Amino acid sequence: MLFNSYIFIFLFLPLCLIGFYILQNRQATLAKVWLTCFSLWFYGYFNRSYLLIMICSILGNYLIHRWIVTTNSRKILITGVILNLAVLFYFKYLDFFIDNVNVFFGSSFPLKYILLPLGISFFTFQQISFLVDTYRGELDGVAFIDYALFVSFFPQLIAGPIVVHEEMIPQFNRIGNDDRSKEEKAKIFAKGVYVFVLGLAKKVLIADTFGIAVDFAYSNVNGINGFESLFTILFYSLQLYFDFSGYCDMAKGIAGMFGMRIANNFNSPYKAINIVDFWKRWHITLSRFFTKNIYIPLGGNRRGEGRMYLNYLIVFFLSGLWHGAGWNFILWGMMHGVLYVITKWWIIKRKTHVIKSAVLDSDSTTLAGSRILKATACFLTFIYVSIAWVYFRASDVAQANTLLMNIFTKEWALPGSGFTEAFNLGEFWYVLKILKVAALPYAEYYIMILFSAFAVAITFFGKNIDELAEKFKPTVVSAVITAVLFVWCVVSLSGVSTFLYFNF
């Protein structure tokens, strides 16, 4: 089930909310059971076999959790982690592994063509983190219903954030014992609706529009010209930004409707002034997971500068592999890793200098550099990240190389109809007709240019969702804006599309 679908908006979510609020005032455990059952329905809606995998994963990991609580055995922890990784390897990496074995050794092992369960990387990492925290003594035994809800809670189930126990379990324990006033609860609920609708607008109205042009380009890489190739790189960067940001906003908004908060996972990443800053803003909870469970256990920065840089490269290699079973994802991860190491080295060297540059040092709290230098650093970071995204989006390394080479080898001509049709939405054409500019030369490019400029302006100069939510007040004006955006999104749901991070 998708957040941006009729069945979710008009059936699933209202039923879940109504039942939850009725039950939590009577029996907290029943309210948790209700929310867990709806979360399993949400997941099983995609594919019934997915549901069986999730239930088995929850049961198995809960038993391991209880066993660790009883014995505090490191061997049991290691066994639990290995079992989780084995399941993830089977569903996500086995075909990739067999295919490369066949290539390198000239063998002919048959591929399995295993269907990848949605969100398996997210809930697997979440449960591994839970087992590690159990072994570290950070939590005692947790009731099964709390654990099941912790893993399956539908707002963050498919594409994160990767939450940890201290963020969610206390909130589940507060169900039925919430001492906040009715006015405060009503404001939190209204803010949740507001945030959800903003996220829905990002996904439906912006990301999916760019997605049409991007899909056209990647399905016809050899046939597009240099200008179209350049636009494709920009459009995918914007599509991914609004797609992932929209999902994170919707997840936060839905959680807010239940009176809960989930971890921040997205903080205006294209405003980053270097790659280190970028990874403090993009997929924040994934970075947290790798830092806590990979980087620090490897030694972090405690074993010398050289070992620290190696640890960073290992983390980014695994991050690339986590995102997808393909050499293009590994290359994407290493592109980020190499620049991350170079940037970290530069930051450390600059910190030893008398005059520190705040533009290149994301850890500095002062702005010693000029606005021009800061804007330049931000622009260059965006360019590098966008080029790396080409390998992230392409089906393989060869396709990514072809798209990048098109910029230098193909002619530079105006984009064709395959690009412009993505932006020629009926409501925008109606406005152009009213303004009597629809019949002017090159009118088909007006919407594409204005739409892209608007998206860029929001990305680099607009306030992020946390800033907007903090200033939110349930007024008539905010209600009208929310209602208009909601109706606009609903009438645009005919072309429902999945979120890009569902693939990981």
Catalytic residues: 323
Distance CA 98, CA 112 (A): 9
Give the SS3 label for residue 131: helix
Query: How would DSSP label each residue in 279-333?
Result: TTTBSHHHHHHHIIIIITTTTTTTT-HHHHHHHHHHHHHHHHHHH-SSHHHHHHH
Greatest C-alpha distance within the chain: 76
Q: Alpha carbon of 96 to those of 91, 362, 468: distances in Å?
A: 10, 37, 42
Helix axis angle for 48-71 and 74-88, nearest 10°, is 170
Tokens of 303: 């074993």
Give the SS3 label for residue 266: strand
Distance CA 164, CA 169 (A): 9
Distance CA 76, CA 121 (A): 21
Residue type at position 384: Y
CB atoms within 10 A of CB 501: 19
Distance CA 68, CA 72 (A): 5
Burial of residue 173 (number of CB atoms within 10 Å: 0-12, 13-18, 19+): middle
Buried b (16+ CB within 10 A) or exposed e, 469-499: beebeeeeebeeebeebbeebeebbeeebeb
